[in-house]
Structure 1
Amino acid sequence: MGAGRNAKNAAIALLVPLPSILFYLSFLHHYTATGDGDSLSPLWKWCSHHPVLLANSLFFLNVNLLFWVIGIVQSSHWMIDLYWTVIPVLLVHYYATHPLAQYNWWRSRVVILMTWAWSIRLSHNYFRRERWQWGAREDWRFTDMRHQYGKHWWWVSFFSIYVSQQVFLTGICLPLYVVQSVKKPWNIWDFVAVVVCVCGIIIAYYADTQLHNFVTRNTKLKELGMPMVPNLDKGLWRYSRHPNYFGEQLWWWGLVVFAWNIGHGWTFVGPLINSMCLAYVTKLVENRMMKQDYRTEAYRLYQKTTSVWIPWFKSSPSAKDKST
């Protein structure tokens, strides 16, 4: 990937959220200027009364439409993958600064800090995987769908990538909204939520690091013409076939504990849908692994002895076969 294209993609990625940011800052300016908001125009008044609808409207216009147009022009929908790590940070600050926000100071600040930690961890993993390049490639699942839908991909991509991502992202981020809209004293369940969230971030970081080291080592072996290691079954991967997915789910469900603790357990719906989607992605990933001849046999054995998500002790292949 050339330096010019890399710089261009970096500039696009940094500038693309500006429409939403500038619109929101303009809204805050008008709201502050009127004192209590009673003299606002109908548009600004609507924005002040409907924080979740406003967030979804900005997402639709700035992400769904703008990202989609850029993806069509570039023939690559790479940017939504990167912005998975950024949008939750933007949302948590948006909900915390909206005029309707009311919250416990400690809970709000702890969740904001942890959301930044989660984002930095995921962003680091993204750029490390992409060799510190911006938009070098799009998600392999999008590439597969591009081939599957052919000439219809230009419009199918709008729904399959962007509209669906809005449902997932705004849904799993609903606990961030609740945390910034309910003022309830900090209690023991907040500590439990912090432990779950932090454990999720740490597990995902170490799992992704171990995976990155494994892929890097195999790449070097391939370049040297040497046999590649067929399967990663060391470290956290000894106890789970997808410990990085497990850590990511712990993070989102930890946020649900925050929301449940302040009376909004219904927000579990977002992470539940995301977990179900990730279960499907897990199946796609494992099918892809099985198609690689050099690792098929080893991975089949790995499936028989190792837990899918939740880390657990290995079982014997014979016992697994008898249970099936």
Structure 2
Amino acid sequence: MVIDLNPTFHSIYPVLFIPFSLLQLMFHSFRTIIPVLVGWFYQSHPRAVADPLRSITSMTLLCLWSARLTHSYFRREEWQLGAREDWRFTDMAKICGRHWPWLSFFAAYLSQHVMLMGITWPFFTIHSSGLPWDPLWDFLATATAVTGIVIACIADTQLQSFKVRNELRKAAGLEPVLINESGLFYYSRHPNYFGELLWWWGVGLFAFRLGQPIVLCGALINTLAMIPVTIMVEERMMRKPERVEAFREYCRVTSVWVPWPRA
């Protein structure tokens, strides 16, 4: 039995979030919650049909992912909602000038909405198929998703610890460490991104097992979208002259996303 898609549910929040953007309550604080609402919508739909174990497992993992990302967001923002705008949007606003208030709907919200629809598509497939749990394939999907969550959680914690240590060094009158090369960051320049991508590919594997490989397009789009994000982050790292040479060497020997032995 196929669940009817609800276009109103999928299209209303980009419009409603425009006022929040102008108040600097940016999209990222909501991005951690929206996928859970979408997943719950599919799971609780009257016409939903799904293997109970797959449904419970995927939704539990989705809630864990949301809790991890929400905690990371508030920890980074020092437990304040909307205390500051995402620096990438700030840079875009400076470039666009007075046109940013209306351009932000397309650049910052509608584009993210399309991506969110793609990455949550597997939950529609999961809750529209009663195919029994497969001990091999569904376990692979679960293991991939869990590994992604764990890697992202560890990387976020290590990055936060690095920032705190540098703040303590500054307070003590010491020079800050220019490059974070500890923990997972020794093997990957962006292990947190890799964990996030791996999580969504794991979710896609659930739906792939159900005969809907097309849903992997969501994970693919998310991966492609991470390329310009990575470029922007690394360009920002190069803005400080004292860090340019060290960061170039770090890039030369260290993998971009996938944790890998150094060159």
TM-score by length of 1: 0.78
Contact 2:3 2:128 in 1 (8 A): no
Give, in whole Å, the separation in 1 of the partners of 2:21 and 2:231. Answer: 26
Q: Deviations over 1:110-162 (max 9, x none)?
A: 00100011000111100100001111011111111111111111110111111
Give, in whole Å, the separation in 2 of the partners of 1:142 and 1:209. Answer: 24
CA drift of 1:176 comes to: 1.1
Give, in whole Å, the separation in 2 of the partners of 1:271 and 1:51. Answer: 22
Q: Deviations over 1:243-279 (max 9, x none)?
A: 0000001100001110100101100111111100101
1:306 aligns with 2:254: yes
Greater C-alpha radius of gyration: 1
CA drift of 1:57 comes to: 2.2
Q: Which runs of 5+ in 2 are unaligned?
A: none
- Taking structure 1 as reference, are residues 160 and 50 closer, same or farther at Cα in structure 2, changes over 3 Å only? farther
Residues 37-186 of structure 1 mapped to structure 2, 5 A cutoff: 51-52=4-5, 54=6, 56-61=7-12, 63-72=13-22, 74=23, 76=24, 78-186=25-133
Q: 2:167 — aligned with what? A: 219
Q: Deviations over 1:173-219 (max 9, x none)?
A: 10111111111010110000000000000000000100000011112
Q: 2:194 — aligned with what? A: 246
* Greater RCO, CA 8 A, separation 6+: 2
Give, in whole Å, the separation in 2 of the partners of 1:294 and 1:60. Answer: 45
Q: Which runs of 5+ in 1 are unaligned?
A: 1-48, 316-324
SS in structure 2 of the partner of residue 135 of structure 1? coil
Letter in 2 for 1:238: Y
Letter in 1 for 2:233: V
- What is the root-mean-square deviation in Å for CA atoms of aligned residues? 1.3
Contact 2:186 2:254 in 1 (8 A): yes
Letter in 2 for 1:68: I
Letter in 1 for 2:17: F
SS in structure 2 of the partner of residue 151 of structure 1? helix
Q: 1:206 — aligned with what? A: 154
TM-score by length of 2: 0.96
Identity %: 45
Give, in whole Å, the separation in 2 of the partners of 1:137 and 1:50. Answer: 39
Contact 1:199 1:250 in 2 (8 A): yes
Contact 1:51 1:95 in 2 (8 A): no
Give, in whole Å, the separation in 1 of the partners of 2:245 and 2:163. Answer: 19
Aligned length: 261
Of residues 225, 228, 233, the one that matches 1:285 is 233
Give, in whole Å, the separation in 2 of the partners of 1:257 and 1:173. Answer: 12
